[in-house]
Amino acid sequence: MRKSETPLGRPREFDVDAVLHAAMYQFWERGYHATSLTDLTTATGLHRGSLYGAFGEKHRLFLTALQHYSHLSLAALDAALQAETSPLASIRHYLLGQAAQATAGRGCLIANTTLELLPGDQEVAAVIATHQRGVEDRLAVALEQARVMGELSGKRSTQVLAHYLLTIAQGLWELGRTTSDQERLTEVIDASLDGLSG
């Protein structure tokens, strides 16, 4: 990871990406409201002045951390959608990964934040909406490929189907709060994929 530079061109004495990653995990573990300045300085190893000088006050830091999480999540989606030669199999691979993570304990930072801060925080809402569009657009491309390859029939638009799959993925995160039964979640995934051509 490269070290960022200040506006005056002087190198900072810390790795900005590593600090942002540490802050992201702290918000992910505790939630926005429960994360204190002390939590953040302890997790990042920075003093308050350095932390806020680099990222701004707590809310600004949280928005940056949430965007960082979104970028990582979308990169993981891109990788999942390339995991199989079949587009529908790749989508299933992605959803199975979501189910596995949903039961792992921490949950999804996007989903957690939606429950904690929305409605009411328009800046957070904008970040989440951008993330969801990114997920839907990628799924729509995969679904279009599936249609071209003859894996997908029916007349519904791929964008509508992508929104449906996003809703399924979000539902998996919700179910993961109350069950660790992977077989049950897999049945939900397979039923959802079976319904795409209806």
Structural domains of the chain, ranges and CATH numbers in brackets: 65-197 (1.10.357.10)
Q: Over the chain, what HEC string results? A: CCCCECCCCCECCCCHHHHHHHHHHHHHHHCCCCCCHHHHHHHHCCCHHHHHHHHCCHHHHHHHHHHHHHHHHHHHHHHHCCCCCCHHHHHHHHHHHHHHHHCCCCCCHHHHHHHHHCCCCHHHHHHHHHHHHHHHHHHHHHHHHHHHCCCCCCCCCHHHHHHHHHHHHHHHHHHCCCCCCHHHHHHHHHHHHHHHHC
pLDDT for position 1? 42
Q: Which residues contact 48 (CB under 8 A, 6 or more apart)?
A: 37, 41
Arithmetic mean of pLDDT, 180-189:
93
Q: Answer yes or no: are the C-beta atoms of 68 and 128 closer than 8 Å.
A: no
pLDDT for position 99? 95
Arithmetic mean of pLDDT, 117-145:
98
- Statement: residue 2 has pLDDT above 90: no
pLDDT exceeding 70 applies to what percent of the chain? 93
pLDDT digits (tens, 9 = 90+) for 69-128: 999 999 999 999 999 999 999 999 999 999 999 998 788 999 999 999 999 999 999 999
**Confidence label for 11 from pLDDT (cuts 50, 70 and 90):** very low
Separation between Cα atoms, residue 134 and residue 76, nearest integer Å:
12
pLDDT digits (tens, 9 = 90+) for 45-71: 999 999 999 999 999 999 999 999 999
In the numeric block, which tokens belong to residue 5? 């530079």
In the numeric block, which tokens belong to residue 90? 């790749």
Which backbone phi and psi does 11 adopt, to 5 degrees? Answer: -65, 135
**Confidence label for 198 from pLDDT (cuts 50, 70 and 90):** low
Separation between Cα atoms, residue 107 and residue 112, nearest integer Å:
7
Closest CA to 196 of 149, 160, 148, 145: 160
Arithmetic mean of pLDDT, 158-172:
97
Q: Cα-atom radius of gyration of the chain, to the nearest Å?
A: 19
